[in-house]
Chains A and B, each alone.
Chain A
């Protein structure tokens, strides 16, 4: 009852001090919405990447030319290209393992695909084995996989975005295009995947199946000379445990490298947990940004409340004279601070929902507001009101009634 009366009184005094109340609510709103939007972006990123990893399947393993086993995530997009420590004998070791159902080399190439005067410069050009589809778990939608037995034919399998980029149609099987000096013919199209353009893959670089062009490894070696093996992609057999196989192969490959830790094997699951830690730090960093803006909002609340306590000194005296206890005055001003901060939190939450919808619509990012982040926003709002409203409220409660009544 008292609490309700206080809320009513709080709204009245907020109305009577409209301009600065609006500004303070705005400050809290910005703080809350930055927390919510940033965490929504991180959450969206996480869901995207998780979905992407899941397209590789839980049986997937990856050989990377760096040590990813010490827990420190070294997933660096630039490492997809450049010098690699992976050798032909590493590949043979992996491909020949009894727990591996399929394995392919993965070598990044650089050449720009061209069809007549059309170029598609954002293609990811890769050389791989004939079982690339099985080893990387990419499904062929139209046509077939290329046959390495016949390198002179220069067959390629491409993603749908490459097809539309070069030919304005996804139905591109049988069409030909230039890669550097050589003409290749399209024998297959990978199944379209629902991922945004330009998204960074956890395996280093943007592996977007829709933008991929896979050239037979032997053909690429003949046309482009010696190739770096940047990755090895593989699938474990149905009975094998991907994590255990990855650990065993890591040991075997590092032994193959003379006990140097310049190579490791990751399973999709392990990558997922690595990502969790990367995204965890990202989330922590964004929470830090949000915390700073919330601090600003909190200081705003403290400021407006300190001003209110001074301006309303006489009111405090009157209330005390007619029987308000210290705790009643404390509660009154605390509720007022709470109303401002919770109002800011709710409006901030609404603004975040709008911002997230706009980001989803206008960019390739797909932020996700979870229920827990909404709950967090409101509880932070309450906490900010309580923490920053407390000092002004204590100051109000401690006022001497006689001096307060004399205050002009």
Chain B
């Protein structure tokens, strides 16, 4: 089943009264449940905007977005927030942890915005699975980059989302640590989650099941978007 379906999605930004910047131009994209897709492209290609639209942080100027078969293009702010809380986990390049909170408190943050049962146990289990059990009470500043990113992944997993959106998750990490984080994402993929990974690192992108190239607001290899993951087929 299709998890994500974009049809003729455009996104324009108004730079001034007369000048409009077309960042996404007629994007058609389908991502199936359980896919591991890398979005690649140079900076300014529109891949981040695409990810923001997929992540319900932004709206298309025109076009259709179906998430789980439901049209979400016209949803209000509150409903989009609820969907983000329940269905989508974000992983960012700069981790985006709250410095004032401990690792465990950061992981628990989503529980403020959606109901999660057995939250304390769940947070501890996720952190243990990610090798963070002895880091629970450290603050982000006392953690290494890899540890911080794993805390961010733990936070993204708290609400048990179907979709993980990772925006340059290895961008601030050395290659060895970056590889560990990709390993974590691969593991999540094997558990059945859908992963969308934005990167400009070819070596990172190659580890996804398939790669979508974004260039100048268009996907240049749309046929790949419909290619079912062989990797996943093998796993099943």
Contact = CB atoms under 8 A, between A and B. Distances in A.
A and B: real partners? yes
Interface of A: 2, 5-6, 12-13, 16, 314-315, 317-328, 401-402, 405
Interface in B66-86: 77-78, 81-82, 84-86
A323 B96 contact: no
Interface of A is mostly: helix
A323 B155 contact: no
A269 B206 CA distance: 95
Given A12-B100, A16-B100, A326-B77, A321 B109 contact: no
Given A325-B78, A325-B113, A318 B96 contact: yes
Contacts of B52: 402
Contact of A326 (B78, B86, B90, B97): B78
A321 B98 contact: no
B82 A319 contact: no
B81 A323 contact: yes
B112 A321 contact: no
Given A324-B113, A402-B58, A13 B100 contact: yes
Contact of A314 (B58, B96, B155, B156): B96
Given A323-B81, A325-B78, 14 more contacts: A2-B112, A6-B112, A314-B96, A319-B109, A321-B57, A321-B96, A323-B86, A324-B112, A325-B82, A325-B113, A327-B78, A402-B52, A405-B57, A405-B92
Contacts of A328: 81, 112-113
Interface string B94-129: 001110110000000110111000000000000000
Contacts of A2: 112
Given A13-B100, A401-B57, A321 B84 contact: yes
A5 B112 contact: yes
Nearest to A12: B100
A328 B109 CA distance: 12
B114 A405 contact: no
16 contacts: A13-B100, A315-B98, A318-B97, A319-B113, A320-B81, A320-B84, A321-B55, A321-B90, A321-B96, A323-B81, A323-B85, A323-B86, A324-B81, A324-B112, A328-B112, A328-B113
A399 to B, nearest CB: 12
A5 B114 CA distance: 13
B159 interface: yes
Contacts of B156: 322
A321 to B, nearest CB: 5
Contacts of B77: 325-326
Contacts of B110: 322-323
Nearest to B110: A322
Given A318-B98, A322-B90, A402 B81 contact: no
Contacts of B114: 323
Tell which of A13, A16, A317, A401 has the most Cβ of chain B within 10 Å.
Answer: A401
Nearest to B112: A5
B113 to A, nearest CB: 4
A385 B55 CA distance: 35
A13 B99 CA distance: 11
Nearest to A315: B98
Contacts of A16: 100
Given A5-B112, A328-B113, A405-B92, A322 B84 contact: yes
Interface in B34-80: 52, 55, 57-58, 77-78
A323 B113 contact: yes
A320 B57 CA distance: 8
A336 to B, nearest CB: 13
B181 to A, nearest CB: 18
Contacts of A319: 109, 112-113
Tell which of B77, B81, B84 has the most Cβ of chain A within 10 Å.
Answer: B81
Nearest to B48: A402
Nearest to A6: B112
A333 to B, nearest CB: 14
A16 B139 CA distance: 14
Nearest to A13: B100
A402 B59 CA distance: 11
Contact of A325 (B55, B58, B81, B100): B81
Contacts of A318: 96-98, 109
A321 B114 CA distance: 13
A301 B110 CA distance: 28
Contacts of B55: 321
* The 8 A-B residue pairs with the shortest CB-CB distance in the complex, in nearest-first order: A323-B85, A323-B113, A325-B81, A323-B84, A325-B78, A318-B96, A322-B110, A401-B57
Contacts of B97: 318
Nearest to B106: A318
Contacts of B78: 325-327
B229 to A, nearest CB: 26
B57 to A, nearest CB: 5
Contacts of A405: 57, 92, 96
A317 B95 CA distance: 12
A323 B110 CA distance: 7
A12 B156 CA distance: 23
B106 to A, nearest CB: 9
